[in-house]
């Protein structure tokens, strides 16, 4: 396509050469972490299904968390958030799937506190609040204490790929696959590893976008700075995805940094802190994108990039609003380049922008089939056949140019299909 206002005004951003993706990495790849999953029987129709997960660090770790902003939040969210406020330390976590322990009142809080205590006893933790507790599944159902206790007896912690895979499987609900990623980089000349495992397929929307994500690292990181880095990474990953526009009651992202890599503690004065931040952000984006690819009933993975915005916040608002629009999502399912829905979503986003030079392009810059449908607020003629070919692909990329600044942001979503309605109308997770 010819050079026009639809072309990007920046060069692609590449990650630091110090950061290496670990193809076969898993939640136990960082030093000192072990995990397992067991079948506790929370799903009577699938008694063999792994539904109880435990993660453990051989050393108490500095920890940080970001939680759902849904006011109707689950009991384990309240308990784990309160635990982090005590010392910003964790050594283990216990997660059950199938029963969310949300909307369960005082009894739900009591069970969450009991889960901390029973995990403390099993793993001989120094304090009950060194245990994070999570639940995911059907709202309004209390986890069965007898099943948790029996399931814990089956847990055999290990640091190998098999044990890590069992952990990742045990946290799933309507997911069709596990979601993991890992990276390695050098800090102070020492190898540092970050790894993560997530679950999520439906009830996914910013703030956060039901999802859980657990991140481990053997880096030594100052606790307050760890919280700052996690919040920033969540904002550029899990808070920029949307499956269906619903923010869950249980959303949680936790990171444990046990310091066993032996590096000097990372803070803002450390020369390598930006590399660590970038690795964490890349890891979170990998997990967030995996959630979108596994969206309930989804047939398309959609990336929306907004460029030349006044601020990153404005760009993010525009991108998020587009991928969250049900009108846009259904058009993508129908493979219809109804670009008016994109422009409408940008205008409704709440971003402090002008749309006087709004440009919309379907397809990446280096794609010979890429077409510009709106050029500085002027409609462009295009081949409907080419547009249909682009939209028939399993991955769709849309670039929005605001021509108002130097900031940019990406958001990720999926189409809204008939299968999404069937999944959520006829069965519980």
- Nearest CA to 279 out of 366, 360, 356, 215 is that of 215
Residue 129 is classified by DSSP as G
CB atoms within 10 A of CB 61: 29
Tokens describing residue 104: 């369960």
Cis peptide bond prior to 204, omega within 30° of 0: no
Tokens describing residue 385: 């056949």
- Nearest CA to 113 out of 82, 71, 156, 146 is that of 82
190 annotated ligand-binding residue: no
Q: CA-CA distance, 424 to 406, in Å (whole number)? A: 41
The contacts of residue 381 (CB under 8 Å, 6+ apart) are: none
Asked about 247 being catalytic, the answer comes back as no
- Nearest CA to 216 out of 351, 27, 393, 58 is that of 27
429 annotated ligand-binding residue: yes
136 annotated ligand-binding residue: no
Write down how long the chain is: 429
Residue 189 is classified by DSSP as T
Catalytic residue among 80, 178, 193, 210: 210
Tokens describing residue 181: 């990623």
- Nearest CA to 285 out of 213, 360, 393, 210 is that of 213
365 annotated ligand-binding residue: no
Q: CA-CA distance, 304 to 276, in Å (whole number)? A: 26
Residue 266 is classified by DSSP as B
Phi, psi of 372 (to 5 degrees): -95, 120
Determine how β-strand 89-99 pairs with β-strand 131-138.
parallel
- Nearest CA to 259 out of 226, 227, 222, 219 is that of 219
Q: Decide: 167 and 36 in contact? Cβ < 8 Å.
A: yes
Q: Decide: 132 and 94 in contact? Cβ < 8 Å.
A: yes
Catalytic annotation, residues: 210
**Binding region:** 173, 199, 210, 296, 424, 429
**Binding region for substrate:** 173, 199, 210, 296, 424, 429
């Amino acid at each position: 396509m010819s050079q026009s206002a639809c072309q990007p005004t920046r060069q692609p951003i590449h990650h630091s050469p110090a950061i290496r993706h670990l193809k076969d990495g898993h939640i136990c790849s960082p030093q000192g972490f072990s995990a397992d999953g067991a079948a506790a029987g929370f799903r009577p129709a699938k008694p063999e299904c792994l539904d109880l997960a435990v993660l453990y660090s051989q050393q108490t770790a500095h920890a940080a968390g970001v939680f759902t902003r849904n006011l109707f939040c689950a009991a384990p969210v309240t308990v784990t958030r309160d635990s982090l406020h005590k010392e910003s330390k964790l050594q283990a976590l216990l997660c059950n799937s199938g029963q969310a322990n949300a909307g369960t009142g005082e009894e739900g809080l009591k069970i969450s506190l009991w889960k901390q205590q029973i995990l403390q006893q099993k793993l001989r933790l120094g304090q009950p609040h060194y245990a994070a507790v999570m639940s995911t599944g059907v709202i309004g159902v209390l986890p069965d204490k007898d099943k948790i206790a029996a399931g814990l007896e089956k847990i055999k912690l290990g640091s190998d790929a098999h044990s890590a895979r069992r952990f990742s499987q045990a946290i799933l609900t309507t997911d069709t696959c596990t979601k993991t990623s890992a990276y390695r980089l050098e800090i102070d000349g020492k190898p540092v590893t970050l790894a993560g495992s997530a679950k999520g397929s439906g009830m996914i929307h910013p703030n956060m976008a039901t999802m859980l994500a657990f991140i481990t690292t053997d880096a030594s990181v100052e606790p307050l700075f760890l919280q700052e880095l996690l919040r920033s990474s969540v904002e550029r990953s899990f808070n920029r995805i949307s499956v269906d526009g619903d923010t869950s009651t249980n959303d949680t992202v936790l990171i444990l940094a046990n310091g066993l890599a032996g590096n000097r503690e990372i803070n803002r004065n450390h020369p390598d802190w930006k590399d660590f931040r970038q690795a964490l952000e890349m890891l979170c984006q990998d997990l967030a994108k995996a959630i979108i690819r596994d969206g309930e009933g989804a047939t398309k993975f959609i990336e929306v990039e907004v460029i030349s915005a006044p601020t990153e916040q404005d760009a993010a608002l525009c991108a998020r609003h587009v991928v969250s629009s049900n009108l846009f999502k259904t058009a993508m399912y129908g493979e219809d380049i109804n670009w008016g829905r994109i422009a409408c979503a940008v205008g409704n986003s709440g971003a402090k922008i002008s749309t006087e030079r709004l440009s919309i392009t379907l397809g990446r810059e280096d794609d010979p089939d890429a077409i510009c449908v709106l050029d500085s607020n002027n409609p462009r003629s295009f081949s409907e056949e080419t547009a249909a070919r682009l939209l028939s692909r399993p991955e769709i990329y849309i670039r929005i140019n605001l021509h108002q600044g130097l900031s940019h942001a990406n958001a990720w979503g999926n189409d809204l299909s008939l299968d999404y309605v069937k999944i959520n109308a006829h069965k519980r997770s």
